[in-house]
Amino acid sequence: MFSLEGKTAVVTGGGSGIGRAIAGLFAQQGAQVIVADLNETAASEMVAHITGNGGRGIAMVANVADQTQLTAAIESAIAKVGRIDILVNSAGISHIGRLDTTAEADFDRIVQVNIKGVYNAMHAVIGHMKDSGGGVILNVASVAATLGLSERFAYSMSKGAVVSMTLSVAKDYVSHNIRCNCISPARVHTAFVDGFLARNYPGREKEMFDKLSKTQPIGRMGKPDEVASLALYLCSDEAAFVTGSDYPIDGGFVRLNT
């Protein structure tokens, strides 16, 4: 079960965090993985990790916010590998601030990466998927899309847009055998979390880490590998009857805190 043998997947943001975990698991399950990341070193290191463990990977340097560059990179990848069966949109950035403390430049940056970046990647592959008989798109949203979280105005807005785009694409392309879903993690322990705590709570990292962990009823943060396991299911043939859905993976954050 959950084999991706014979399939090719593009994972944006595949050089770090949740995207890295997804790229690694997909390769382990037999997919050829195109690791797309703005950071060339991170993408190359991830591909080295994949190939070093017997998998197949290709590094692709791309800025998801730049449609021309991203489209050209994906078209070049298709020319090399023949087809793209799976797209995972994991690239994204965070922002802390309320409406009145969010600068226009920060708002625009969130829109460019978290909203336009997802649009750009889907736009680049949708025609190919239609022509090749189908495919799977998985977008990484957030519980922030559907909950009111403090100090997350722009970030929450952007993830709400990801959920909406997911539903639209699922509806419009279901007749083309293209499935589109999204997953909504709560707090997941990645290097981003560690960096955030170090910058904002120097000397209090452990205290704040424990505090943030306990906001989730299960009592801890999620692990990137756990999110990757859900992504694997949704992109596998075992989920052939699943489309147009948003899956929370949140340690009970949404349902048990309300």
pLDDT (tens digit per residue) in 29-65: 999 999 999 999 999 999 999 999 999 999 999 999 9
- The phi, psi pair for 204, rounded to 5°, reads -120, 20
Query: Which residues lie closer than 8 Å to 126 by C-beta, 6 or more apart?
Result: 169, 173, 178
Of 119, 155, 173, 233, which one is the catalytic site residue?
155
Residues 214 and 244 placed together within one structural domain of the fold: no
Say if residue 77 is in the same domain as residue 169: yes
Beta-ladder partners of 35: 11, 59
Give residue 195's pLDDT.
85
Q: What is the pLDDT of residue 258?
A: 59
> What's the rounded Cα separation, in Å, for the pair 94 and 10?
22
pLDDT score, position 148: 86
- Check whether residue 147 and residue 94 sit in a common domain: yes
Looking at 115-213, list the stretches that DSSP marks H as alpha helix, in order from N- to C-terminal side.
116-131, 153-173, 191-200, 205-213
The structural domain count of the chain equals: 2
Q: Is residue 165 part of a domain?
A: yes
Domain CATH for 81: 3.40.50.720
Task: With a cut of 90, say whether residue 215 has pLDDT above it.
Answer: no
pTM summary value:
0.95
CA dist 9 and 13 (Å) reads 13
Q: How many CA atoms lie within 13 A of 92 on its CB side?
A: 26
Q: Give me 130's structure tokens.
A: 């239609």
One domain for residues 15 and 46: yes
82-122 residue pLDDT tens:
999 999 999 999 999 999 999 999 999 999 999 999 999 99
Known catalytic membership, residue 155:
yes
Whether residues 182 and 192 share a domain: the answer is: no
Per-residue CA distances from 91 to 16, 32, 180, 201 (Å): 9, 19, 17, 25
- Residue 256 maps to a domain: no
CB atoms within 10 A of CB 105: 8
Asked if 62 contacts 69 with a C-beta cutoff of 8 angstroms, the reply is: yes
Which range marks the domain in which residue 48 is found? 8-186+224-250
- Per DSSP, the residues of 15-46 read TSHHHHHHHHHHHHTT-EEEEEES-HHHHHHH
Residue 144 lies in a domain: yes
Q: Is residue 257 part of a domain?
A: no
- Phi, then psi, of 36 in degrees rounded to 5: -100, 125
Residue 13 sits in the same domain as residue 42:
yes
- Lowest mean pLDDT across 65-74, 111-120, 210-219, 237-246: 210-219
Same domain, 104 and 198: no
Nearest to 29 by CA among 86, 82, 91: 86
Q: Is residue 180 part of a domain?
A: yes
User: What mean pLDDT value characterizes the chain?
Assistant: 96
Note the Cα 44 to chain centre separation in Å.
Answer: 18
